[in-house]
Amino acid sequence: MNDKREMLLNQGMGKLFVSLALPGMAGMIVIGLYNLVDSIFVGQFVGPAAVSAVAMGYAVILVNQAILSLFATGASSLFSRAMGAGDQKTMDALLGNVFWPVTLCSLVLTVITFSFAPEILFALGAREEILSLGIDYLRLLSLGFVFGAVGPALNFLIRAEGQMKTAMKIMALGTITNIILDPIFIKVLGMGMEGAALATIIGQSLFLFGDFAHFKSKQSSINLSTKSFRITWPLMPEIIRVGFSGMIMSLAVAIQLSILLSLSSSYSINSNIVMSTAFRIMSFFYIPIFGISYGLQPVLGANYGAGRFDRVREAFWYFGKVASAIAVGIWLFFQLFAPFILSWFITDAEIVAEGSRQFRLFLSSFLFYGLIAVFIMLFMALGKAGKGALLTLGRQLFFFIPLALLLPYMFGEIGLWLSYPLGDLCVVLFGMILVRSELKLLKRPHYAGQ
């Protein structure tokens, strides 16, 4: 543990970025591939309507991600601060505080989703073929919700240790398995949507197995024992307080996606297909940028816990600049190659041609996503749950929902496509105000988490 702590507290930011952020980016890309490959394969082998069906299932998956975020984000923040302070007792106690709550909550979600899949999908705007395909996909996928939540949740602790390469390898194990099995199950065995769901479940189960293999090894900073699976109740309030913003972020994205799918369905099935595809692409390409912020999290947490506030500021700016440069590069890719990107998912040339303009408009704010990612992580890593939640809610709900309801009323369908990027612009401006205030506080000589 001491070697890792010394690395986080003293190593140069360039080396920390290479050792933490690059594996974090790769690892988060691996996570994103789980759902993206399902969309690509069903789009190519089943049809355009299947892409919408998977996107509607993703809205429910985001609720499962909210469960794991509540406990895993808070625990990882607490873990990094405990590592910075040299508190081994707290580090050892956190595994049980993630494992049991996530498992139990995911089981509840499984029962609800399996029982009410048709009603859930109908509320999201699914009709006829999309509804039928969605039920096949979502019901089977819900049986693996525990694997899909506990595996990534425990992986948060591995990343909080600063072992980004190990976390990435574990995620890659599950994702590569999913990618290999998807075409076999969907096309070769003729399982269609259920094949995509089954491939995902098998991949996620291997993800969980890899986590436990790491915790049993000598590489882990956690001293694994039977006591590790006990819930340490005094730690729970802090875990939930910090993890609340992460949970809200996933729930807010689920609400946001539900609104977009429902409103786009009111215009046409083609509009819904393009919206589903654009949102999935946006979510995937945002993941590696947010992966940079997860590489930033242990650096911020450890230095904050050790009272090295100068390095907190230095890390924030260094990682933020790199994340922003990458975001601008991805934005250019979207704007220049929209038809090519859409064709990965949609085989109908007419839908691709009509949807390219909408796609470019929807993703026109992506160049700001590097800033948004590090803004959110700054407050999460420092345990400022209130500010983190405020930024998250601002992006997904407070700005977006009024715009999504007002702009289509004023400008028709084009207003719906404008609502998302304008909401992002509002949250960037709001985030600048919050971050500027926090960085000023960190310059105070006797700052202690005001």
Cα–Cα distance, 390 to 102 (Å, whole number)? 24
Q: What is the pLDDT of residue 112?
A: 97
Give CA–CA dist 436/110, Å, rounded. Answer: 42
Torsion angle defined by CA atoms of residues 116, 117, 122 and 124, in that order, rounded to the nearest 10 degrees: 110
Give pLDDT < 50 ranges for the chain. Answer: none
Q: Provide DSSP, 165-184.
A: HHHHHHHHHHHHHHHHHHHI
Q: Is the dihedral of CA 212, 297, 324, 62 positive or negative?
A: positive
Which token pair is 254?
Answer: 């689920």
Rounded distance, CA 86 to CA 126, Å? 52
Residue 390: both structure tokens together: 């405020």
Q: How far apart are CA 372 and CA 368, in angstroms?
A: 7
pLDDT at residue 422 in the model: 94
CA 419 to chain centroid = 21
Distance CA 263, CA 56 (A): 13
Secondary structure (DSSP) of 26-83: HHHHHHHHHHHHHHHHHHHHT-HHHHHHHHHHHHHHHHHHHHHHHHHHHHHHHHHHHH
Token code pair at residue 202: 């098998």
Q: Are the beta carbons of 381 and 448 closer than 8 angstroms?
A: no
Asked if residues 100 and 182 have their Cβ atoms less than 8 Å apart, the reply is: no
168 and 26 Cβ atoms separated by less than 8 Å: yes
Helices (H), 337-412: 338-342, 349-362, 369-381, 385-393, 400-411
Per-residue b/e over 134-143, b at no fewer than 16 CB within 10 Å? bbbbbbbbbe
User: How far is it, in rounded angstroms, from Cα 205 to Cα 198?
Assistant: 11
| Greatest extent of the chain over all pairs of C-alpha atoms, in Å | 65
Segment (H or E) for 437:
helix 413-442
Tokens of 362: 């929807």
Q: Is residue 109 within 8 Å of 64, Cβ to Cβ?
A: yes
Do residues 274 and 135 lie in contact, with contact meaning Cβ atoms separated by under 8 Å? no
Cα 318 to Cα 48, 233, 235, 426: the distances in Å are: 41, 37, 32, 24
Q: Are 157 and 171 in contact (CB under 8 A)?
A: no
Phi, psi (rounded to 5 degrees) for 304 = -65, -45
Distance CA 152, CA 109 (A): 17
Each residue of 259-281: pLDDT tens digit?
Answer: 999 999 888 889 999 999 999 89
- Structure-block tokens of residue 211: 């986590």
> Is residue 381 within 8 Å of residue 80, measured between CB atoms?
yes
Residue 336 exposure: Cα atoms within 13 Å on the Cβ side: 6
pLDDT for the residue 251: 86
Distance of CA 135 to the CA centre of its chain: 24
Q: Residue 13 is encoded by which pair of tokens?
A: 């930011």
Q: Report the 10 Å Cβ neighbour count for 3.
A: 8
- 376: Cα within 13 Å, side-chain hemisphere: 31
pTM of the full predicted structure? 0.78
The single-letter DSSP state of residue 230 is S
Helix and strand tally (H, E) in the chain? Answer: 18, 0
Interval 379-396: pLDDT, tens:
878 877 678 778 877 777
The amino acid at 436: R
- Which element (helix H / strand E) includes 3? helix 2-10
